Amino acid sequence: MRHTPSPRRLGGVDILLLLSLVVIGTLLYFTQVERFSTSDYHGDEGPWLLASDYYFTRYALDRDWSAETWQANRYGPWSGQSPTIGKYLIGLALWIGAPSPRDTTPQPPYNYGESFEWNLTNGTVPPLPSLIVGRRLIAFTALLAAMALYGLGRHLIGSPLVAWLAALLFLLDPLVMFAGQRLLVDMPALLFSLLALLAGHRAIFGANRRVRWAYGVMTGLLVALAVGSKMNALLGVAVWGAWLLTVRTVPRRSLLAPLFCAMAVGTSLFFLTNPMLLHDPIHGPATLIAHGRAVADYEVPQDFRLETWRKRLDNLVITGLVETGAIYRLAEPTSWPCGRVGGCLPKPYIIGRPFPDGWLAQRPWFDAWLAAAGLLMVALAAVNPRATAATRRGALWLLCWALIVAGGILLTVPFAWERWYLPMEPVWALMQAVAISTPFVLIDRLWQMRVPTKNAT
C-alpha cells in the first residue's frame, strides 16, 4: 500500500474516473428498477412505500406532529417509532414523481410463505409505477455511495485507480445491488454514512478554522441523516470518533470546534426530524433502540452464548463477503431457504441478465482470501516505519473502520438479516482493491530500481 497525496480539488483523471462510475452505475442499477417478478421484488418494499408516503405527508405537507400520529404503531416495524429520514426521502420522491395518488391505507403484509403471484393477486404488492419511482431514488443513492467511496479511497489510500477499483467492486457487489435496486432504506443510510466520513475527514484536515467549522457542521448534518435513516449508521459515527482520537498531525484543540459543531447540529436535526422524539426527548432514543431490537428479535432472537460466536464470525465472512463477494458472483442466492444464514436474497441482475449460477462456485473462498490479503497489506503499511505519515495514517484509519464496523455487526446483527451486513461492503471493497493493486505497485517499484534515472546517468 503506497499513499499518494490526495488533491483538494478534483483533477482531470478524477473526473474521468467518476464519469465512468456514473456510466457503470447507470447500467447496473437504473436499468433494473422496472423488474417485477418473484426474484426481483422484496416483500418489505410495499410497507416502505406506504409508510414513507404516509409519514412524509404528515410531517412535511400536513405538518401533523401530534403524539397520536407518531407514537402509534400504525405500520409495525415501519411506524413513526423507527428512524424517519429514509421514509421522508422516499415520500418526497413519490410526491414529486408518482403518476397517481397512492393508497395510504395499511397494506396487508407480504406473505413470504406464498408465491409472488399469490401476493400480487391478494393485494400485498404495491402498484408498479409508484414502486419504480422509489426504486429510482434508491438506485441514485447507490451511485452516489460509490462516488463517496471513491472520495474516501482518494483520501485514505491516495491512488485514483485503487479508489476507482474499490468503487467499482462496491457497485458489483450483489448485496449492494440487492439493496440498490429495490425500495429499501438501507442504501440511503449507507450513503449518508460514507458522506459523513468524507466530510469528517475534511473537518479534521481543513485548511483553516473556518473550513473546519463548515465541514464540522456538514458532518453533523450527514450523521443525523444517516442515523435518522437506520440506526446501524451509528457505526459510521464511531469510525469518525476513532479517526479523531488517532490523528497526530493536527492539534487537539483545533478539533474541538468541528466536533462541537457536528454534535450540536447532528443532535438537533436528529430530534427535529422525528416528532416522536420531540414528544419524549428523554426516553425517545431508547424507544428507537428498543423498537429496532424488537424487530431484530422478531426475525432471529439475539443469542450471545459462546457457541454462537463462531456462527457470527461465519456470517460476517460468508454473508457479508463470500456469497455477496465484491468481485465474483458465486452460487444462486434464491436457492437458500428462508431462515438459513443469509436469509432470502433475491438474485442480482447485471444489464438485464442474471449472474451465472456456477460462476466460480468451486472457489467460494477466493474473495475471502483476497480481502484477507488486503487487510494484511493495510496492517503492514500501518506499522511500516519507512512509510510516509500519510500512508500510515490512511492504513490505520482503514483498520479502525474495518474493526469498528465488524465489531458492531458481530454484536448487533441478527443471523438471517443480510441487509445489516451492508456497512461492511465498502470496507471489503477497499481491502480487495488494495490486494489487487499491491502486485502492480511492487512491479512498478522493481522496474524503477532496474531502469536508471536521468540523474543517475
Q: Which three cell numbers stand for residue 351?
A: 444489464
Please tell me whether residue 349 adopts helix, strand or coil conformation. strand
256 within a domain of the structure (yes/no): yes
Does pLDDT of 147 surpass 60? yes
For residue range 48-77, what is the model confidence (pLDDT) as tens digits?
888 888 889 888 888 888 888 887 777 767
User: Which of 21-30, 101-110, 165-174 has the lowest average pLDDT?
Assistant: 101-110
Does pLDDT of 98 surpass 90? no
455 within a domain of the structure (yes/no): no
User: Which of 138-147, 163-172, 261-270, 361-370 has the lowest average pLDDT?
Assistant: 361-370
Q: Which residue has the higher pLDDT, 377 or 300?
A: 377
Cβ atoms of 184 and 45 within 8 Å: the answer is yes
423 within a domain of the structure (yes/no): yes
**Cα dihedral 81, 85, 88, 94 sign:** negative
Q: What is the pLDDT of residue 424?
A: 86
1 within a domain of the structure (yes/no): no
Q: What is the pLDDT of residue 1?
A: 58
Q: How far apart are CA 139 and CA 31, in angstroms?
A: 10
For residue range 188-218, what is the model confidence (pLDDT) as tens digits?
999 999 999 999 988 888 777 888 888 888 9
Q: How far apart are CA 162 and CA 152, in angstroms?
A: 11
Q: What total of structural domains would you count in the chain? A: 1
- Give the rounded percent of residues in the chain with a pLDDT score beyond 90: 18
Residues 6 or more apart whose CB falls under 8 angstroms from that of 154 comprise: 6, 7, 14, 160, 163
Q: Which residue has the higher pLDDT, 304 or 63?
A: 63
Please identify which residue in the block is written with the cell numbers 478534483: 10
SS3 labels along 79-122: CCCCCCHHHHHHHHHHHHHCCCCCCCCCCCCCCCCCCHHHHHHC
Q: How far apart are CA 135 and CA 115, in angstroms?
A: 22
Residue-number span of the structural domain to which 113 is assigned: 12-450
456 within a domain of the structure (yes/no): no
Q: Which residue has the higher pLDDT, 363 or 275?
A: 275
Q: What is the pLDDT of residue 106?
A: 53
Q: Looking at residues 154-167, what average pLDDT do you find?
A: 91
Helices (H), 306-418: 309-317, 366-383, 389-412
91 within a domain of the structure (yes/no): yes
Q: What is the pLDDT of residue 129?
A: 85
Query: What does the DSSP assignment read for 373-394?
Result: HHHHHHHHHHH-TTS-HHHHHH
Phi, psi of 110 (to 5 degrees): -65, 130
- Give the rounded percent of residues in the chain with a pLDDT score beyond 70: 72
Please identify which residue in the block is written with the cell numbers 439475539: 302
- The CA distances from residue 353 to 29, 132, 261, 350, in Å, are 12, 19, 47, 5
CA 446 to chain centre: 37
Does pLDDT of 386 surpass 70? yes
Does pLDDT of 263 surpass 80? yes
Does pLDDT of 331 surpass 60? no
Q: What is the pLDDT of residue 179?
A: 87
Does pLDDT of 135 surpass 50? yes
Query: pLDDT tier at 421 (50, 70, 90 boundaries)?
Result: confident
102 within a domain of the structure (yes/no): yes
Cβ atoms of 179 and 188 within 8 Å: the answer is no
Q: What is the pLDDT of residue 198?
A: 93
Q: What is the pLDDT of residue 168?
A: 93
Q: Looking at residues 6-33, what average pLDDT do you find?
A: 83
Question: Closest Cα partner for 41 from 107, 126, 151, 106?
Answer: 126
Count of C-beta atoms within a 10 Å radius of residue 237: 22
Residues 6 or more apart whose CB falls under 8 angstroms from that of 349 comprise: 32, 35, 40, 177, 181, 355
Query: pLDDT tier at 230 (50, 70, 90 boundaries)?
Result: confident
**Cα dihedral 371, 376, 381, 383 sign:** positive
Does pLDDT of 355 surpass 80? no
396 within a domain of the structure (yes/no): yes
Cβ atoms of 119 and 125 within 8 Å: the answer is yes
Residues 6 or more apart whose CB falls under 8 angstroms from that of 19 comprise: none
